[in-house]
Chain A
Amino acid sequence: MRKLLPESWVARGVGLASLITVLLLWEMAARYRLVNPVLVPAPSMIFDTLVAILTSGEFLAPLAHTVLLFLAGYGIACLLGITLGMWMGCSRAAYGLLEPLVELLRPIPKSALVPALFLFLGIGKATMVTVVVFAAVFPVLINTFQGVRGIDPVLLDTARTFQCSRWRTVMQVILPASLPSIFAGMKVGLSLGVVLVVLAEMLAGENGLGFVILDSQRAFQVREMYAWVVILAALGASLSLAFDKIEQRAVPWRGN
């Protein structure tokens, strides 16, 4: 282990150097007009704009909009997906009832549903949350289902032998045993959910990071556009980081 420590420092050093090199090359290209600086502003200019957006607090409203929409949609999707997935995994009748509907809805590219959803729910938050739910629910549901199906029958027999109640079996045997699979599904759902929340904000045009990116592109404010993309990327990275931390807590036995 001790030997690896300097190695990881080397890795970080080289990585940092390579990132800085890329940024420097970009900066030079923009400065010396190898690329059109109107379309590709230098990183330093984007950074200035980013700092201005961050210090003025201008980023708060769009960021909050995106985060809240995402969390609402993703939360509902996870609850719904896990519940339905467990139900379908445990009950044959539920499986029969829902499987055709799931198979029918699952392959629809969710972006194509946005116009139809606008109609039912209006152009607003409800629609956008629904879009996110639609995007994220299927990976969660299917992975939950597969996780439940993949449980070692011995485990269930044991539960039966100990005369565990149905509820206890579900909560204390089936749920923990399928947790790794559920988290795998939630991870896929997370990235799909983020994609769709951004798309929904672009199409519904109320607020949020998706909207401001598109809005600054329409106004040809290229620096602002890149700055907002950076903020969105930071959000995406933090979400996936937070997810990994939660997963490590929730499924410690899975190891790394």
Chain B
Amino acid sequence: MSNAANDSLTGNALRPHAATAWGRLAARMQATPRLSGFVLVAALLCLWEASARLGWVNSQNWPPVSLVLVAVAQGIASGELASLLLSTLRRMASGYVLGCGIGVALGLLLGTNRWLRYVLKPIIEVIRPIPAPAIVPPLILFLGVDDALKIFVVSLACFFPAFLNTLAGVETIDDVLLQTARTFRVGARRTLFQVVFPATLPMIAAGLRVATGIALVVTVISEMIAGSSGIGYYIIQMQYAMKPEAMYAAVLLLAVTGYLVNRVFLVVEQRFIPWLGK
């Protein structure tokens, strides 16, 4: 590891350790940097287990972590958690694709046509500052509590980062590029697809990444508020059914899902925009 010195940026190089057992452990922790972190996580989990087992936290709603893991295993074995998760992911994906698709398309259109921009941008700017949970209560009155509501809320939440980044991306395109296209008499549509879109792609990717982070959170929020299905509702339902271990199991599963969704996005991003290279 040639960048060992660079890893500690302020210049505190690795210090040699005494040859005691503790020193060796400490040295090992430095060598495999995350070991100490895993120890910390394990210690926190043990603290959780002990606090529930020994009654430091006296509550129905505080199960030991081991029971939560059992609930995860049971939920996976029975297929219940998987089907809930799938329904949540389906909503998330629908909302994400809709919101991002419309966001990117409008971003490109508004970026290349100033009259459209003048007309639509103010309307979008007026809606933008409304936080996602606040639009759920009014929307329930129109869209009910079915998937239409949840997908709409998610797509709205994903729309803004996709749209704004795309628009900003189009605005930063080098004028020379567009002038060249004009010089060569490239048609408007071809310019859009073959010049503007590729040049904007890194910014679009940035917008999509922000949307990825938001999508799952908002899906769970809409399932919690509007209820009736998905893993967000399951969390509330289990809370009411006095099965906190099942509730935490769902939270745990969501954490893993969030992590995986992010990974998948990074892989897809690298596949489609190889020149973004990191």
Contact = CB atoms under 8 A, between A and B. Distances in A.
Interface string B108-123: 0000001101111111
A19 B130 contact: no
Contacts of A91: 8, 10, 12
Contacts of B217: 109-111, 192, 195
B37 interface: yes
Given A93-B36, A99-B37, A112-B220, A160 B9 contact: no
Nearest to A169: B10
B192 interface: no
A18 B217 CA distance: 33
Interface in A81-102: 89-93, 95-101
A28 interface: no
B65 to A, nearest CB: 12
A232 B9 contact: no
A250 interface: no
Contact of B119 (A18, A156, A239, A240): A18
Interface string B219-250: 11100110000001001100100000001101
Contacts of A188: 210, 213
Contacts of A40: 142
B9 A112 contact: no
Interface size class of A (residues with CB under 8 A): 35 or more
A89 B32 CA distance: 16
A96 B247 CA distance: 30
A104 interface: yes
A112 B62 CA distance: 15
A166 B10 contact: yes
A109 B254 CA distance: 7
A11 interface: yes
A160 B12 CA distance: 11
Contacts of B11: 156, 160, 166, 169
B16 interface: no
Nearest to A238: B129
A151 B9 contact: yes
Interface string A99-138: 1110111111111110110011000000000000000000
Contact of B216 (A15, A99, A104, A109): A109
17 contacts: A15-B119, A19-B122, A90-B10, A91-B12, A100-B41, A101-B37, A101-B41, A106-B258, A107-B255, A108-B254, A111-B224, A174-B9, A194-B131, A195-B133, A195-B217, A229-B138, A233-B134
Interface of B: 4, 6-12, 14, 29-30, 32-38, 40-41, 44, 57, 59, 61-62, 114-115, 117-123, 126-135, 137-138, 140-142, 210, 213-214, 216-221, 224-225, 232, 235-236, 239, 247-248, 250-251, 254-259, 261-262
Interface of A: 10-11, 14-16, 18-19, 22, 39-40, 89-93, 95-101, 103-113, 115-116, 119-120, 148-149, 151, 153, 156, 160, 166, 169-170, 174, 188, 191-192, 194-195, 198-199, 202-203, 209-210, 213-214, 217, 222, 225-226, 229, 232-237, 239-240
